Protein backbone atom coordinates (compact mmCIF):
# COMPACT_ATOMS: atom_id res chain seq x y z
CA UNK A 1 0.00 0.00 0.00
CA UNK A 2 1.25 3.53 -0.68
CA UNK A 3 1.88 5.85 2.27
CA UNK A 4 -1.05 8.06 3.28
CA UNK A 5 -1.73 10.59 0.52
CA UNK A 6 -1.61 13.56 2.86
CA UNK A 7 1.87 12.77 4.08
CA UNK A 8 4.43 15.28 2.79
CA UNK A 9 7.44 13.63 1.12
CA UNK A 10 10.01 15.52 3.23
CA UNK A 11 12.31 13.63 5.57
CA UNK A 12 11.00 13.84 9.12
CA UNK A 13 12.80 14.73 12.33
CA UNK A 14 12.92 11.48 14.31
CA UNK A 15 11.45 11.78 17.79
CA UNK A 16 10.52 9.42 20.62
CA UNK A 17 8.46 9.92 23.78
CA UNK A 18 8.28 7.28 26.54
CA UNK A 19 6.17 6.96 29.70
CA UNK A 20 6.49 4.83 32.80
CA UNK A 21 2.87 4.90 33.98
CA UNK A 22 0.52 7.40 35.54
CA UNK A 23 0.11 7.02 39.27
CA UNK A 24 3.65 6.21 40.29
CA UNK A 25 4.27 7.05 43.94
CA UNK A 26 6.59 10.11 43.95
CA UNK A 27 8.01 9.17 47.36
CA UNK A 28 9.03 5.76 46.12
CA UNK A 29 12.29 5.94 44.14
CA UNK A 30 11.86 8.81 41.69
CA UNK A 31 15.52 8.48 40.57
CA UNK A 32 15.03 4.85 39.68
CA UNK A 33 11.97 5.75 37.61
CA UNK A 34 13.89 8.54 35.88
CA UNK A 35 16.83 6.28 35.05
CA UNK A 36 14.46 3.58 33.78
CA UNK A 37 12.56 5.76 31.34
CA UNK A 38 15.78 7.42 30.19
CA UNK A 39 17.36 4.03 29.45
CA UNK A 40 14.27 3.05 27.46
CA UNK A 41 14.36 6.31 25.52
CA UNK A 42 18.04 5.83 24.74
CA UNK A 43 17.30 2.30 23.47
CA UNK A 44 14.57 3.61 21.16
CA UNK A 45 16.65 6.59 20.10
CA UNK A 46 19.54 4.33 19.09
CA UNK A 47 17.19 2.76 16.54
CA UNK A 48 15.77 6.05 15.25
CA UNK A 49 19.06 7.95 15.05
CA UNK A 50 20.56 5.13 12.97
CA UNK A 51 17.71 5.56 10.47
CA UNK A 52 15.70 2.65 11.87
CA UNK A 53 11.94 2.15 11.94
CA UNK A 54 9.54 3.65 14.48
CA UNK A 55 8.11 0.19 15.12
CA UNK A 56 11.55 -1.14 16.12
CA UNK A 57 12.16 1.94 18.26
CA UNK A 58 8.96 1.60 20.32
CA UNK A 59 9.43 -2.15 20.69
CA UNK A 60 12.98 -1.62 21.91
CA UNK A 61 11.97 1.11 24.38
CA UNK A 62 9.11 -0.95 25.80
CA UNK A 63 11.24 -4.11 26.07
CA UNK A 64 13.76 -2.16 28.13
CA UNK A 65 11.03 -1.24 30.62
CA UNK A 66 9.53 -4.75 30.59
CA UNK A 67 12.97 -6.00 31.67
CA UNK A 68 13.23 -3.33 34.40
CA UNK A 69 11.85 -4.71 37.71
CA UNK A 70 10.57 -1.30 38.90
CA UNK A 71 7.93 -1.00 36.17
CA UNK A 72 4.60 -2.81 35.98
CA UNK A 73 5.24 -4.69 32.72
CA UNK A 74 7.04 -7.95 32.01
CA UNK A 75 9.31 -8.50 35.03
CA UNK A 76 7.83 -6.45 37.89
CA UNK A 77 4.21 -6.89 36.78
CA UNK A 78 1.56 -6.53 39.47
CA UNK A 79 -0.18 -9.67 40.68
CA UNK A 80 -3.80 -10.68 40.16
CA UNK A 81 -6.16 -11.38 43.05
CA UNK A 82 -4.91 -14.98 42.94
CA UNK A 83 -1.23 -14.00 42.95
CA UNK A 84 -0.70 -14.85 39.27
CA UNK A 85 0.83 -12.69 36.51
CA UNK A 86 -1.33 -11.82 33.48
CA UNK A 87 0.03 -9.19 31.11
CA UNK A 88 -1.47 -7.04 28.34
CA UNK A 89 0.43 -5.38 25.47
CA UNK A 90 -0.29 -3.78 22.11
CA UNK A 91 1.69 -2.23 19.26
CA UNK A 92 0.62 -0.34 16.14
CA UNK A 93 2.24 1.21 13.08
CA UNK A 94 0.43 4.16 11.62
CA UNK A 95 1.07 3.89 7.88
CA UNK A 96 -1.28 1.00 7.23
CA UNK A 97 -2.90 0.65 10.67
CA UNK A 98 -1.16 -2.68 11.20
CA UNK A 99 -1.45 -3.78 14.81
CA UNK A 100 -0.97 -6.68 17.19
CA UNK A 101 -2.02 -7.20 20.79
CA UNK A 102 -1.97 -9.86 23.49
CA UNK A 103 -4.08 -10.00 26.65
CA UNK A 104 -3.92 -11.90 29.93
CA UNK A 105 -0.72 -13.68 28.90
CA UNK A 106 1.37 -15.44 31.55
CA UNK A 107 5.03 -16.60 31.32
CA UNK A 108 6.25 -14.24 28.59
CA UNK A 109 9.15 -11.96 29.51
CA UNK A 110 8.46 -9.47 26.71
CA UNK A 111 4.76 -9.39 25.78
CA UNK A 112 5.38 -6.44 23.44
CA UNK A 113 7.51 -8.66 21.21
CA UNK A 114 4.73 -11.23 21.13
CA UNK A 115 2.30 -8.46 20.09
CA UNK A 116 4.80 -7.42 17.39
CA UNK A 117 4.98 -10.97 16.03
CA UNK A 118 1.18 -10.98 15.82
CA UNK A 119 1.26 -7.69 13.91
CA UNK A 120 3.75 -9.23 11.49
CA UNK A 121 1.64 -12.35 11.02
CA UNK A 122 -1.10 -10.07 9.57
CA UNK A 123 -3.95 -12.40 10.43
CA UNK A 124 -5.39 -11.49 13.83
CA UNK A 125 -5.14 -8.35 15.93
CA UNK A 126 -5.62 -9.74 19.46
CA UNK A 127 -4.82 -13.09 21.07
CA UNK A 128 -5.47 -14.00 24.70
CA UNK A 129 -4.24 -16.45 27.33
CA UNK A 130 -3.42 -19.99 26.18
CA UNK A 131 -3.96 -19.14 22.51
CA UNK A 132 -1.39 -16.37 22.81
CA UNK A 133 1.05 -18.83 24.42
CA UNK A 134 0.51 -21.33 21.60
CA UNK A 135 1.16 -18.57 19.07
CA UNK A 136 4.32 -17.62 20.99
CA UNK A 137 5.58 -21.18 20.64
CA UNK A 138 4.81 -21.19 16.92
CA UNK A 139 6.84 -18.03 16.28
CA UNK A 140 9.70 -18.84 18.66
CA UNK A 141 8.96 -16.31 21.42
CA UNK A 142 10.26 -18.11 24.53
CA UNK A 143 8.25 -18.84 27.67
CA UNK A 144 9.79 -18.05 31.05
CA UNK A 145 9.12 -19.13 34.63
CA UNK A 146 6.44 -17.10 36.37
CA UNK A 147 8.88 -16.72 39.27
CA UNK A 148 11.25 -14.72 37.05
CA UNK A 149 8.49 -12.11 36.51
CA UNK A 150 7.50 -11.75 40.17
CA UNK A 151 9.47 -9.25 42.23
CA UNK A 152 9.59 -9.00 46.04
CA UNK A 153 8.09 -5.52 45.73
CA UNK A 154 5.00 -6.78 43.92
CA UNK A 155 4.65 -9.70 46.32
CA UNK A 156 4.66 -7.23 49.22
CA UNK A 157 2.11 -4.98 47.52
CA UNK A 158 -0.12 -7.96 46.82
CA UNK A 159 0.09 -9.04 50.46
CA UNK A 160 -0.83 -5.51 51.59
CA UNK A 161 -3.99 -5.61 49.43
CA UNK A 162 -3.33 -2.07 48.26
CA UNK A 163 -6.24 0.35 48.37
CA UNK A 164 -7.79 1.16 44.99
CA UNK A 165 -6.14 4.60 44.84
CA UNK A 166 -2.74 2.96 44.93
CA UNK A 167 -3.40 0.35 42.26
CA UNK A 168 -2.09 2.35 39.28
CA UNK A 169 1.47 3.01 38.24
CA UNK A 170 4.30 1.52 36.29
CA UNK A 171 2.59 0.66 33.01
CA UNK A 172 4.93 1.53 30.14
CA UNK A 173 4.53 2.97 26.66
CA UNK A 174 6.32 4.68 23.80
CA UNK A 175 5.47 6.61 20.64
CA UNK A 176 8.02 7.27 17.90
CA UNK A 177 8.32 9.04 14.54
CA UNK A 178 11.03 7.84 12.17
CA UNK A 179 12.79 9.62 9.33
CA UNK A 180 10.47 8.18 6.71
CA UNK A 181 7.44 9.66 8.52
CA UNK A 182 6.05 6.45 10.02
CA UNK A 183 4.60 6.75 13.51
CA UNK A 184 4.36 3.75 15.83
CA UNK A 185 2.98 3.36 19.35
CA UNK A 186 3.29 0.60 21.96
CA UNK A 187 2.00 -0.06 25.49
CA UNK A 188 2.67 -2.90 27.96
CA UNK A 189 1.39 -3.64 31.48
CA UNK A 190 0.76 -6.17 34.19
CA UNK A 191 -2.59 -4.43 34.69
CA UNK A 192 -4.00 -3.31 38.03
CA UNK A 193 -3.14 -4.80 41.43
CA UNK A 194 -5.50 -7.52 42.58
CA UNK A 195 -7.43 -7.60 39.29
CA UNK A 196 -9.62 -10.62 38.68
CA UNK A 197 -7.90 -13.33 36.64
CA UNK A 198 -9.00 -12.95 33.02
CA UNK A 199 -9.46 -9.18 33.25
CA UNK A 200 -8.28 -7.34 30.12
CA UNK A 201 -7.39 -3.67 30.33
CA UNK A 202 -6.94 -0.83 27.88
CA UNK A 203 -3.28 -1.62 27.21
CA UNK A 204 -4.28 -4.63 25.10
CA UNK A 205 -6.95 -2.76 23.17
CA UNK A 206 -6.17 -0.85 20.00
CA UNK A 207 -7.91 2.52 20.13
CA UNK A 208 -7.96 2.50 23.93
CA UNK A 209 -4.41 2.14 25.28
CA UNK A 210 -2.58 2.46 21.96
CA UNK A 211 -3.24 4.12 18.61
CA UNK A 212 -1.24 5.48 15.66
CA UNK A 213 -2.00 7.05 12.29
CA UNK A 214 1.09 8.40 10.55
CA UNK A 215 -0.79 11.31 8.98
CA UNK A 216 -1.89 12.51 12.45
CA UNK A 217 0.24 11.06 15.23
CA UNK A 218 0.42 8.36 17.89
CA UNK A 219 -0.64 7.87 21.51
CA UNK A 220 -0.02 5.57 24.46
CA UNK A 221 -2.32 5.78 27.49
CA UNK A 222 -1.99 4.70 31.11
CA UNK A 223 -4.25 4.73 34.12
CA UNK A 224 -7.61 3.34 35.11
CA UNK A 225 -8.08 0.84 32.29
CA UNK A 226 -11.84 0.47 32.65
CA UNK A 227 -12.30 4.26 32.35
CA UNK A 228 -9.89 4.45 29.39
CA UNK A 229 -11.89 1.73 27.62
CA UNK A 230 -15.22 3.44 28.33
CA UNK A 231 -14.12 6.65 26.58
CA UNK A 232 -11.93 4.92 23.92
CA UNK A 233 -9.23 7.32 24.99
CA UNK A 234 -6.41 6.53 22.55
CA UNK A 235 -8.44 7.06 19.41
CA UNK A 236 -10.20 10.13 20.75
CA UNK A 237 -6.92 11.67 21.90
CA UNK A 238 -5.53 11.25 18.41
CA UNK A 239 -8.45 13.16 16.93
CA UNK A 240 -8.03 15.89 19.54
CA UNK A 241 -4.44 16.03 18.29
CA UNK A 242 -5.63 16.35 14.71
CA UNK A 243 -7.82 19.33 15.59
CA UNK A 244 -5.67 21.04 18.21
CA UNK A 245 -2.94 23.49 17.29
CA UNK A 246 -0.86 22.26 20.19
CA UNK A 247 -0.17 18.63 21.28
CA UNK A 248 0.09 19.71 24.92
CA UNK A 249 -3.45 21.03 24.72
CA UNK A 250 -4.67 17.85 23.00
CA UNK A 251 -3.13 15.77 25.80
CA UNK A 252 -4.74 17.97 28.43
CA UNK A 253 -8.27 17.80 27.02
CA UNK A 254 -7.94 14.04 26.54
CA UNK A 255 -7.10 13.64 30.23
CA UNK A 256 -10.01 15.94 31.12
CA UNK A 257 -12.25 13.60 29.11
CA UNK A 258 -10.90 10.61 31.04
CA UNK A 259 -11.62 12.29 34.36
CA UNK A 260 -14.96 13.91 33.54
CA UNK A 261 -16.63 11.39 31.22
CA UNK A 262 -14.69 8.27 32.12
CA UNK A 263 -14.60 9.08 35.85
CA UNK A 264 -11.12 7.63 36.11
CA UNK A 265 -7.55 8.81 36.47
CA UNK A 266 -4.53 8.40 34.27
CA UNK A 267 -2.40 10.02 31.64
CA UNK A 268 -1.08 9.76 28.11
CA UNK A 269 1.74 10.67 25.78
CA UNK A 270 1.25 11.99 22.24
CA UNK A 271 3.44 12.64 19.24
CA UNK A 272 2.23 14.36 16.06
CA UNK A 273 3.40 13.88 12.45
CA UNK A 274 5.70 16.90 12.79
CA UNK A 275 7.46 15.34 15.79
CA UNK A 276 5.85 17.63 18.36
CA UNK A 277 5.15 15.93 21.69
CA UNK A 278 2.51 16.33 24.37
CA UNK A 279 1.76 14.60 27.66
CA UNK A 280 -0.62 15.08 30.56
CA UNK A 281 -1.87 13.18 33.59
CA UNK A 282 -4.40 13.55 36.38
CA UNK A 283 -2.20 11.67 38.85
CA UNK A 284 0.58 13.21 40.97
CA UNK A 285 3.30 11.69 38.80
CA UNK A 286 3.83 10.15 35.36
CA UNK A 287 7.46 9.52 34.38
CA UNK A 288 8.04 10.86 30.83
CA UNK A 289 11.15 11.16 28.66
CA UNK A 290 11.58 12.70 25.20
CA UNK A 291 14.43 12.56 22.71
CA UNK A 292 14.89 14.28 19.34
CA UNK A 293 17.86 15.71 17.39
CA UNK A 294 17.25 19.14 18.94
CA UNK A 295 18.08 17.74 22.39
CA UNK A 296 21.62 16.95 23.55
CA UNK A 297 20.26 14.26 25.86
CA UNK A 298 16.86 12.82 26.76
CA UNK A 299 14.58 15.41 28.37
CA UNK A 300 12.99 14.07 31.55
CA UNK A 301 10.37 16.59 32.64
CA UNK A 302 9.36 15.09 36.00
Known catalytic residues are 171
Q: Which C-beta is closer to ligand ASP: that of 15 or that of 283? A: 283
Q: Please, are residues 72 and 78 in contact by the beta-carbon 8 Å criterion? A: yes
Q: Least distance to ligand ASP from the beta carbon of 191, Å? A: 4
For ligand ASP, the binding residue among 66, 67, 202, 213 (CB under 6 A) is: 202
Cα distance between residue 259 and residue 205, in whole Å: 19
Enumerate residues 6+ apart whose C-beta is below 8 A from 16.
Answer: 41, 44, 45, 48, 57, 58, 61, 174, 175, 176, 177, 271, 290, 291, 292
Minimum gap (Å) between residue 70 Cβ and ligand ASP: 13
Q: How many CB atoms lie within 10 A of CB 151?
A: 17
Alpha helices per DSSP H over the chain: 30-49, 54-67, 111-121, 129-139, 152-160, 225-231, 233-243, 247-260
Q: How far is the CB of 203 from ligand ASP (least distance, A)?
A: 5
Residue span binding ligand ASP (CB under 6 A) among the ranges 105-113, 199-207, 233-241, 256-264:
199-207
112 binds ligand ASP (CB under 6 A): no
Decide whether 164 or 274 has the Cβ nearer to ligand ASP: 164
According to DSSP, the residues that pair with 174 across neighbouring strands are 18, 186
- In the list 55, 104, 168, 285, the residue contacting ligand ASP (rule: CB under 6 A) is 168
Task: Pick between residue 182 and residue 192 the one whose CB is nearest to ligand ASP.
Answer: 192
By three-state DSSP, how is residue 126 classified? strand
**Interaction between residue 171 and ligand ASP (CB under 6 A):** yes
Of positions 80, 222, 277, 283, contacts ligand ASP by CB under 6 A: 222
List the beta bridge partners of residue 217: 213, 272
What is the pattern of x (binds ligand ASP, CB under 6 A) and - over residues 225-254?
Answer: x-----------------------------
Q: Which of 60/203 has CB closer to ligand ASP?
A: 203
Report the residue number, 170 or 298, with the smaller CB distance to ligand ASP: 170
**109 forms part of the interface with ligand ASP (CB under 6 A):** no
Q: Does residue 291 sit in helix, strand or coil?
A: strand
Nearest to 215, CA basis, from 277, 273, 274: 273
Shortest Å, Cβ 272 to ligand ASP? 22
Instruction: Tell me the site size for ligand ASP, rule CB under 6 A.
Output: 15
Tally helices (H) and strands (E) across the chain: 8, 11
Backbone angles phi, psi at 117, to 5 degrees: -65, -35
What are the residues binding ligand ASP (CB under 6 A)? 21, 23, 88, 168-169, 171, 189, 191-192, 201-203, 222-223, 225
Amino acid sequence: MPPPADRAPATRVPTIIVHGGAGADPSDGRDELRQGVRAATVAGWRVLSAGGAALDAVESAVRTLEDHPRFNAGRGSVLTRDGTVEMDASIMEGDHLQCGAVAAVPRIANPITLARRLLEARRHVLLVGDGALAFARSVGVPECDTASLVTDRQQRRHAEVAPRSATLGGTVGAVALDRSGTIAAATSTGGTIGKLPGRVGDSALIGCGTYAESSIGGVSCTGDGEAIIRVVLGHRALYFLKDAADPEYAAKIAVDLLVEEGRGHGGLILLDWRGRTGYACSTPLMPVTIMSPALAEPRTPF
